Amino acid sequence: MSLSSPSQRSPDTVLMRLKQWRPLLWLVPFAVVFYLFQISPLTWVITNSFSDGTQFSLDNYREILDSPFILQGFSNSLWLALWSSLIGLLIAAVLVSSLRHLNSRIRDAVIAFTNMSSNFVGVPLAFAFIIILGTNGALTLILRQLGILDEFNLYGRWGLLAIYTYFQIPLGALLLYPAFDALKKDWQEAAALLGANTRQYWLRIALPVLAPALFGTFIILFANAIGAYASAYALTLGNYNLITIRIASLVSGDLFLEPNLAAAISVLLIAILAFVTIINQWLIAQSNHTGQTKRRSATPRSMRRKAHAKHASDLS
């Protein structure tokens, strides 16, 4: 039996194949945009980080490791990202947990306000903080008159921590809000009937269920904070040493224009985020593995209890 040539295929077969490939055609614009704005810049950054302008070189990475100023920028950025993410995650978790006990109208209003607040970032947010908590800010003057606040520098480390934490809270709340739906209301009631208090319920039931969402939200908040630029620059005018401000000064400075060094710094920043993401995925995998192990180990005991109950019923 001879095989039919492509020219002898029926139009229905060709039409069916085109329908199968049609979803891929819709991905072509996305693939082009993804290549132009993700793959291509990333390739350029990695390639130029190993170049001194003329040939392959590791001088950019040596300069980073030998420069206390650049290392201080990494240290300051990591400190702000870590603490603002932890504080923001904690406050967001408490906020979302409290929303579950409110009626739907108040809950929807708070979520709408949180959604609006998550978009209030950058220069407008820095300007608002200057008006409220600046050297002559309204709240600063009131707290000074009451004797509560003696010295507070909005343009230093603690001021940046305050503004970073502020824009972390709405984002964390929006990311955690769907995750808290996994907690059933009757779980806490059942735990209370078995003698567990509120602390034991959260430590042994709620937090293990929420652990993957908490880890994932922390990574997003960490990446959001370590890559923040506009708010910090508008607040400090570039006078505080952050790694994003250093990168910007190296690619747009009037005196020291070193794009290859900026590319090397960016590669190290990407490596830090990749490392944190890998640790997060490992912790999530360990959490899921522990939960599966507990469920497998609990199954034989439940089967034994059912067997004992059946045996007792048979005896009666």
pLDDT at residue 307 greater than cutoff 60: no
In which band, very low, low, confident or very high, does the pLDDT at 84 lie, cut at 50, 70 and 90? Answer: very high
- Domain of residue 256 covers 58-289
Among 28-32, 124-128, 161-165, 297-301, which is the least confidently predicted range?
Answer: 297-301
Residue 284 belongs to some domain of the structure: yes
Whether residue 16 is predicted with pLDDT greater than 90 in this model: the reply is: no
Structure confidence at residue 268 (pLDDT): 92
Q: Is residue 79 part of a domain?
A: yes
Report how far apart, in Å, the C-alpha atoms of 127 and of each of 124, 134, 139 are. Answer: 5, 9, 14
How confident is the prediction for the chain on average, in pLDDT? 81
Instruction: Identify the pLDDT of residue 299.
Output: 44
Place 88 in a pLDDT band, splitting at 50, 70 and 90: very high
In this structure, is residue 197 part of a structural domain?
yes
CB 236, CB 155: distance < 8 Å:
yes
Residue 241 lies in a domain: yes
What are the counts of helices (DSSP H) followed by strands (DSSP E) for the chain?
14, 0
201 touches 192 (CB < 8 A):
yes
> Which of 122, 123, 60, 79 has its CA nearest to residue 250?
60
Token code pair at residue 300: 């034989």
Amino acid 203 reads L
204: in domain: yes
Q: Angle at Cα 249 formed by Cα 243 and Cα 250, nearest 5°?
A: 90
- Tens of pLDDT, residues 146-187: 877 777 788 888 889 999 999 899 999 988 888 888 888 788
Domain of residue 157, CATH code: 1.10.3720.10
pLDDT for the residue 253: 64
Domain count across the chain: 1
pLDDT digits (tens, 9 = 90+) for 239-264: 889 999 999 888 886 666 888 999 99
Model confidence at 9, pLDDT cuts 50, 70, 90, reads: low
Asked if residue 103 is part of any domain, the answer here is: yes
Residue 298 has pLDDT above 50, yes or no: no
Q: Which of 166, 165, 268, 285 is closest to 215 using CA atoms?
A: 285
Cβ(251)–Cβ(189) below 8 Å = no
How far is Cα 214 from Cα 287, in angstroms, rounded to an integer?
12
